[in-house]
A and B are shown apart, each in its own frame.
Chain A
Amino acid sequence: MPIRRLIITVLIIAPILALLAFGFTRDAKYIHSPLLAKPAAPFNVTLFDGKKISLEDFRGKALFLNFWASWCAPCRTEAYDLEAAWRKVKDKNMIFLGVALQDSDQASKDFLKEFAVTYPNGKDESGKIAVDYGTWGIPESFFIDPQGRITYKHVGGIRAALVLSKLEEAAKSIASAQEGRGDYQGVR
């Protein structure tokens, strides 16, 4: 009876395939960030113009912190959006800081020039900042309120409108319950 045997074959194989397909509904790498609504880890960054800056310097301002690299395609996609958002808020009590990750100085500088980035940018020399912020896919962005608390986190490319609305929330110390997601590249 081939039909019966065929049905049995399908019944044995289908659950395994279904289980594997279930794998696509979740992200194995996704770790819910325990950082939301918690104080941001302190850091020191040397900017590409040589100035040294630390988290403390931003106290009293809403901060948009963005991890990026010149080789990361989604970082290129969001670069113009970030600059556009920066131009809208730079006269308010808000600040942007870009931190380049796993990148050579020259490539980072070329990137900033290419996208005409005007907000401050530096480099995570030892990789410590990225570790402290649990960065696993870039671009990764953090919104920090004037008291130094993380209000929102976004893994992957972000659009200008979202940056602006989340910065408004950060300025009012409104923390989001969940982090956001866009196109990202894994950090090897």
Chain B
Amino acid sequence: MTATLGHSSILMAFALALVGIASPLIAARFEPERFRAVARYSIFGQFTLVTVAAAALIYGLVATDFSIKYVAFNTTRATPIYYRVTGLWGALEGSLLLWEWILIIFAGIVAWVYRERHHELMPWVVMIFSIVSAFFLGVIGFLSNPFETISPIPLDGRGLNPLLEDANMMTHPPLLYTGFVGLTVPFAFAMAALIVGKIDEAWITTTRRWTITAWFFLTAGNLVGAWWSYHVLGWGGYWAWDPVENAAFMPWLPATAFLHSVQVQERRRMLKVWNLSLIIVAFSLTIFGTFLTRSGIISSIHAFSSGPVGAFFLGFLAFILLGSFGLLAYRADLLKEQPELDSMISRESAFLLNNIVLVSALFTIFLGTIFPLISEAVAGVQVSVGAPYFNSVTVPLFLCLVFLMAVGPMIAWRRASWDNLKRNFLWPASAALLFGFGLFLWKVRDFLPLLGFTLLAFVVCTMTYDTALALRARKRIAGEGILRGLITLSRRNQRRYGGFIVHLGVVLIIMGIAGSMTYSKEKEATLAVKQDLTVGNYRIQFEGLKGAQQPTHFRVEGAFRVFHNGNDEGVINPALKFFPSQQSPIGRAVHQSSLSEDIYLILSGFSEVERNQATLKVLVRPLVIWMWIGGFVIVFGTLICIWPMPKAEQQEQS
């Protein structure tokens, strides 16, 4: 019953999506008014039906309706209720349904919010949404049906992969999908503008908040993924440059470039073709990411079950790329007139450079990701490139980005005068250099980290200096104190100050990455009881092993007392969990964080419990915690950027 309800809702929604595609075409030819409304109502209809389908699957999971194959494969009777709900995105079929659900929620909101505006664009926006929706509904309805039934009905299910039973897995996939799907909004408006031939700035200003929101979810999704990897996978790292991680990260790069370059278009009416291309690339990469994950064409530690879906995703990717770039090529005549760059030393050229760097990073990561395919196609041998390749090519690019992050927001539009440069950068640059010199004296002698931290300091100094000048002006004009002044500034100029805070978050994240990449220490040893291991300022003493049967697995736990600079910091207990359904044990690493460094303990092996010997791996990773703090700072900054303000407040938007 649940399965029938779910599956028939999907099929009806698919039919409505086809109506949503056809009606703007009919409207354009025959009767605009009536069919425009039809397109909108088809979106609301799809929204209702897909919500019913998603609710049906969630109900099936919660009520452990094992007649549904998906439920039987992804829950057990023992699974706690919250992991039953998250089983919705525990495997391929359900996660496609989640994707479609988020997509149609976005489409519904867009169709509702702009029901009285953009009369010319909206039917086409709705059509683009319906095309994407029809594709996903087609895949869910006909190829990868989450409502497939099995007979005979099993008594119990197989359950989620135990690694997925973690609080972060409740948030990571929905965040990432929301980021992916959110990019459909600017993409749909861009395509609509191209179809109509009205390629002014309207589509950009309309979708600005949507793009920032999508960017925010992409950032959050990637960060939570990194946190999950760090905190659950028990290898002490947060990023492995695995193809699937790259697939999630790649759309972030053109999306970030787009957020910056649209400002140039708004201000100077430049980069029209470039902006359209960026958003096409960003959207296509979200489909590419899913294709990569679902097709199994590249081997990954993440690869989801593959099947016939991959070929359909490739077909859809081809359709999107050829269709949208084809449309862009067709309309290129309309996009020709645009002003030239006045000077290389200007904000527009800083933003352009930022774009070039981000796109270069995208290109190198893309190349590294599909390299096994290229090598096999050309040389017949599968060769993959690993973390060293990605690190060596991306680190210099990201250092350039940090520099541009300091310069871009402060330098003048059109042509920066010597005075402007001196006023904005003399003090901050001197302070940053002084900071770098201090680091050098404090024994940071390696070139790259020294350069990196100095550049990060430069970003912070330029922002602080600029804000301090603005605060001084507020004090002079309105007599406002620091806090009051900050509030007024961020209310009046949300994008600028919100953007500053987001940049500060990015600085913190890069600081965490740089610290943990360059100054990590690690040691591994087999210890008998009372023996200890010293790593940096830490001494870890082994106190014994303990084994216990848990409801779903057998758990072996080591007790290790941690001394930091001689002070007893308590006992921490890394463990190994043996699940009957898993070939190898699953580690439960444990870490203690402080603002300066994390100590990370991994139990990598043990003797029989009676002999009480354990093999312990200890990692000391400096500054990691700043990555997660940076994430929260970005949340705050993004909220300032997108918070709806009364028009009168936004006087100085730039």
> Interface residues, chain A, CB within 8 Å of chain B?
2, 5-6, 8-10, 12-13, 16-17, 19-24, 26-29, 71, 101-105, 107, 110, 127, 130-131, 185-188
Contacts and interface: CB of A to CB of B under 8 A. Distances in A.
Contacts, number: 91
Nearest to B370: A19
Contacts of B311: 24
Secondary structure class of chain B's binding surface, majority of residues: helix
For the side of the interface on B, what is the size category?
Answer: 35 or more
Interface string B292-319: 0001111100010100001100100110
A10 B330 CA distance: 12
Contacts of B330: 2, 5-6
A20 B314 contact: yes
B329 interface: yes
Nearest to A103: B581
Contacts of A24: 295, 297, 310-311, 314
A28 B298 contact: yes
A12 B318 CA distance: 12
A133 B356 CA distance: 49
Interface stretch (B81-89, B371-379, B393-401, B471-479): B371-379
B543 interface: no
B582 A28 contact: no
Nearest to B304: A186
B373 to A, nearest CB: 5
B322 A13 contact: yes
B582 A102 contact: yes
Given A23-B373, A127-B582, A17 B317 contact: yes
A185 B580 CA distance: 18
Nearest to A8: B329
A164 B311 CA distance: 35
Nearest to A130: B583
Contact of B332 (A2, A23, A26, A102): A2
A5 B325 CA distance: 10
B66 to A, nearest CB: 12
B326 interface: yes
Nearest to A16: B321
Given A20-B291, A101-B583, A102-B580, A9 B299 contact: no
A28 B297 contact: yes
A123 B634 CA distance: 50
Contacts of B322: 9-10, 13
A59 to B, nearest CB: 27
B382 interface: yes
B149 interface: no
Given A19-B370, A28-B372, A29-B299, A9 B582 contact: no
A146 to B, nearest CB: 29
B242 interface: no
Contacts of B326: 6, 9-10
Given A2-B330, A104-B581, A9 B297 contact: no
B321 A102 contact: no
B377 A104 contact: no
A28 B580 contact: no
A131 B325 CA distance: 48
